[in-house]
Amino acid sequence: MPEQLQLERHNLAHSSVEANIETDAFEQSHAGRIDESVRNASDAESHQNNPDEIPRQPIRAAVAKAAQLARGAEAHARERQHAKGKNTARERLDLLFDTGTFQEVGRFAGGDINQGVAGCAVITGFGEVYGRNVGVYAQDFSVKGGTLGKAEGEKICHLMDMAMSLKVPVVALIDSGGARIQEGVSALSQYGRIFKKTCEASGLIPQLSLILGPCAGGAVYCPALTDVIIMTKEHSNMFVTGPDVVKAATGEVISMDELGGGFVHNAVSGVAHYLGEDEADAIDYARTILAYLPSSCDAQPPAFAYAATRGEREMASRLADIVPENDRQPYDMLEVIRCIADYGEFVQVQELYAASAVVGFACIGGHPVGIVANQPNVLAGILDVNSSEKVARFVRLCDAFNLPVITLVDTPGYKPGSDQEHAGIIRRGAKVIYAYANAQVPLITVVLRKAFGGAYIVMGSKAIGADVNLAWPSSQIAVLGAQGAVNIIHRKDLQKAKERGQDVEALRSRLIAEYESTTVNANLSLEIGQIDAMIDPGQTREAIEDSLRLLASKKRVARGIKHHGNQPM
Q: Answer with the residue of higher pLDDT: 32 or 465.
A: 465
Query: Contact, 243 vs 259, CB < 8 A?
Result: yes
Q: Per-residue confidence at 349, pLDDT binned at 50, 70, 90? A: very high
Is residue 178 part of the annotated active site? The answer reads no
Residue 552: pLDDT over 50: yes
Weakest mean pLDDT among 39-43, 179-183, 242-246: 39-43
Among 454, 465, 484, 538, the one annotated catalytic = 454
Residue 428: pLDDT over 80: yes
Q: In what order do the strands lie in the sheet with 207-211?
A: 103-105, 122-129, 132-139, 170-174, 207-211, 228-232, 274-276
Residue 15: pLDDT over 80: no
**Which residues on neighbouring strands pair with residue 450, listed in sequence order?**
476
Weakest mean pLDDT among 15-29, 105-119, 409-423, 513-527: 15-29
Query: Contact, 132 vs 101, CB < 8 A?
Result: no
Residue 28: pLDDT over 50: no
Among 172, 455, 482, 522, the one annotated catalytic = 455
Q: What's phi and psi for 237, nearest 5 deg?
A: -145, 140
Residue 211: pLDDT over 50: yes
CB burial readout 379-404, b (16+ within 10 A) else e: bbbbbbbbbbbbbbbbbbbbbbbbbb
Weakest mean pLDDT among 177-186, 214-223, 225-234, 503-512: 503-512
User: What is the arithmetic mean of pLDDT over 148-175?
Assistant: 97
Tell me the pLDDT tens digit for each residue of 385-426.
999 999 999 999 999 999 999 999 999 999 999 999 999 999
Is residue 455 part of the annotated active site? The answer reads yes
User: What is the arithmetic mean of pLDDT over 455-470?
Assistant: 94
DSSP state of 112: B
Rounded Cα distance, 556 and 199, in Å: 22
Q: How many helices and strands in the chain, by DSSP H and E?
A: 24, 17
Tell me the pLDDT tens digit for each residue of 40-64.
444 444 445 555 566 666 666 666 7
What is the pLDDT at residue 269?
97
Q: Answer with the residue of higher pLDDT: 221 or 114.
A: 221
Show the domains of the chain with their CATH numbers.
63-292 (3.90.226.10), 310-480+520-551 (3.90.226.10), 482-519 (no CATH)
Is residue 270 part of the annotated active site? The answer reads no
Q: Per-residue confidence at 79, pLDDT binned at 50, 70, 90? A: confident
Instruction: Look over the chain and give the mean of its residue pLDDT values, rounded to a whole number.
Output: 86
Among 119, 149, 217, 381, the one annotated catalytic = 217
Among 32, 218, 366, 465, the one annotated catalytic = 218
Whole-structure pTM value: 0.86
Q: Answer with the residue of higher pLDDT: 61 or 219.
A: 219
Is residue 217 part of the annotated active site? The answer reads yes
What is the pLDDT at residue 55?
63
